[in-house]
Amino acid sequence: MKLLLTGFEPFGQESVNPSWEAVKAIPDMVEGVEVVKVRLPVTFKGAAVMLEQAVNEFRPDVVLCVGQGSGRSEVNIERVAINMADSKKPDNDGYQPEEMPVRAEAPDAYFSNLPVKRLVEALHEAGVPAVVSNSAGAYVCNSVFYTALHLVHNKYPDMRAGFVHIPYLPCQVVEKSKQPSMATETVVLALETILHTLATVNHV
């Protein structure tokens, strides 16, 4: 199996993005799974282009994108990507879309074709707090998730694609009262558990 695993650069006031910290810690080969890692920009246009290029180049069996989910307290396995870019803050290019489609003349939404509930169960068995999430937001993460599923529906029907939002790192919440966080080692365990589950569970 070949896995394209993506994380993001930092954005907003942050100097680190927990998604890239965890993604870069995953070995290039895990239990016979070849892992290709890509760090995406937090830009609506650039991230989608880079993701599509990486998929075209590496032809992965699975694309798993990981992003910082500010305020989230568990690993969130996202169920649905919406065709909506609507941002309260500019991206790292200074671009701030309002109610724009991610892709023109494309469906309103796509469901992840990963076994989201099975992944949450596997994470619980591994001792990692995790839930299925029904919204990936309408910022860059959702756009990347939608782009991956658009590629599944239009170009690579055998590819599987999913998105995982993770909490802040502890170092990011030192001065953010009551904000949840999760250590990189726990997120790494979560990603390895997801990988193991996808490599061993065929179709759910």
Instruction: Determine the size of the site formed for ligand PCA (CB under 6 A).
Output: 12
Is 141 a residue that touches ligand PCA (CB under 6 A)? yes
**How many C-beta atoms lie closer than 10 Å to residue 173's C-beta?**
16
Which residues ranging from 37 to 66 are in contact with ligand PCA (CB under 6 A)? 42
Is 68 a residue that touches ligand PCA (CB under 6 A)? yes
Given a contact cutoff of 8 angstroms between Cβ atoms, the answer to whether 173 and 179 are in contact is yes
Whether 196 sits among the annotated catalytic residues: the reply is no
Is 145 a residue that touches ligand PCA (CB under 6 A)? no
Where are any strands of DSSP class E within the chain?
A: 2-8, 29-30, 33-40, 62-68, 75-78, 80-82, 109-111, 130-133, 160-166
For residue 113, give both structure tokens: 């074709």
**30 phi, psi to nearest 5 deg:** -130, 115
Whether 78 sits among the annotated catalytic residues: the reply is yes
DSSP bridge partners of 202: none
Least distance between ligand PCA and beta carbon 202 (Å): 30
Is 76 a residue that touches ligand PCA (CB under 6 A)? no
Question: Which of 65, 78, 150, 192 is flagged as catalytic?
Answer: 78
The closest residue (CB) to ligand PCA is 141
Least distance between ligand PCA and beta carbon 120 (Å): 19
Question: Which of 21, 74, 150, 165 is flagged as catalytic?
Answer: 165
Where are any strands of DSSP class E within 99-171?
A: 109-111, 130-133, 160-166
Binding-site ranges for ligand PCA (CB under 6 A): 8, 11, 17, 19, 42, 67-69, 137, 139-141
